[in-house]
Amino acid sequence: MLKRLLLPCSFLLMSSASFAQNEDSLMIRKLYNEALLRGQSYENLRYLCKRIGHRLSGSPQAAAAVEYTYQVMKQFCDTVYLQECWVPHWVRGDKEIGRISSVRQGAVNVKLCALGGSIATPAAGISAEVVEVRSFEELDKLGKKGVQGKIVFFNHPFDNTHIFTFHGYGEAVRYRWAGPSLAAKYGAVASVTRSVTNTIDDHPHTGSIRYDTLYPAIPCAAICTRDAEVLSEIIRNEGKANFLLQLNCRTLPDTRSYNVIGELRGSENPEQVIAVGGHLDSWDLGEGAHDDGAGCVQSIEVLRLFKAAGIRPKHTLRAVMFMNEENGLRGGLKYAEIAEKKKEKHLAAFESDAGGFSPRGFGMTMKPEQRSKVLSWKPLLEPYGIHDYGGGGGADIGPLEKQGVPLFGLHPDSQRYFDYHHTEIDVFEAINKRELELGGAAMAAMIYLIDRHGL
């Protein structure tokens, strides 16, 4: 008798689970259809890149981007507001000059750019012998005797054996970030770093540095990889070379800026938040299309997709345009600070900051049981190309980790990202409309599942 009673119960449970999964599948399809047929992220990005342009923290363009995204989200969000944060204001100044003095080739002009936060050279520039190192260990071996009064050339190539190119970036970027101060430790007068990219090209890649207060601040620049190869070859063939470096940058007082926040209020648990964001600031060489205009418009699009598809979230959905990820993380830190002060409950936080390429999955930072629940949804997302669940969250949402918030970082295909990263060619034309729209839809789909089933 008991066996006969259990069979219908089991059948009902299986039917209920099957029905829920089918409903989820239909709603995810609805979100994707809206994104692919009527998506607005591409045109929003066009305006951000072409009408506003680069958006370095403290610049007039950054202020214009704050106003623009505020107005865009007002069209469909229940609430839009600004969150004040004070940001660094570094200015590049006139175009930089780099020149190799070669015994055999004479003067060889190279393409380089100041690294973000660098001090300027004297007006006439700095001219000195250049010494090449491929690691910090080589620098240490040279010591003060081999470095003092010279320009250190950090020539650490990207490791192209990594399939996920961010792993190669993580290994190489430390020479940009910490190299100038470690060179100054031994008396270098300036440093030049091989651009952090897996390509050989003519585009110098900028990025931030950190001056260690224990050592003097020295001017520092990134040289394009093609000219890094030229410089290395001259040193190898001739034994040494001189280098002229002229930078015109300066740091101004900190400037008031804002995170821009839009919300769709939850119908059942409005006090619980699912956040999704990108960083509104960008470097000043291009238009910040992949880094990170794409992430901003995708995050805005997540909320619009819910609204347009007629999906009323149970929890409050919040799109955050973070300010100052590139050279300070002030926006991300301020957001986490206020969330903690207000005792806000975040169910999850998402970030898109890896380019507007085809989405492949999500990096996740969370408890094992939460990760297991996310992985149980794989069959619902695999038809849309979402299959990679390795890695972690992102920089702007990172400060939320200590509050126990589960973090998700959208993982687009990474193969081409470092062609554009922090360069003059990171422009709107480098974005594919369909790939961009798929990224926003992927985040909307995962957020839908969390909103419906929790973590």
Indicate if 138 belongs to the active site. no
Rounded CA separation 319/303 (Å): 7
CB 92 within 8 Å of CB 329: no
User: Which residue in 352, 205, 227 sits closest to 284, CA to CA?
Assistant: 205
Alpha-carbon 309 to chain mean position: 28
Alpha-carbon 338 to chain mean position: 22
CB 319 within 8 Å of CB 73: yes
CB 325 within 8 Å of CB 395: yes
Q: How many C-beta atoms surround the C-beta of residue 376 within 10 A?
A: 11
Instruction: Give the three-class secondary structure for 79.
Output: strand
CB 306 within 8 Å of CB 444: yes
For residue 190, CA distances in Å to 76, 155, 322 come to 50, 14, 32
**Element spanning 316, H or E:** strand 315-322
User: For the residues of 21-76, what is the DSSP string, one character each?
Assistant: HHHHHHHHHHHHHHHHHH--HHHHHHIIIIII----TTSHHHHHHHHHHHHHHHTT
User: Which residue in 274, 276, 280, 275 sits closest to 322, CA to CA?
Assistant: 280
Pairing state of beta strands 112-114 and 269-279?
unpaired
Which DSSP symbol is given to 259?
Answer: E
The active-site residue, picked from 96, 325, 344, 424, is: 325
Active site residues: 325
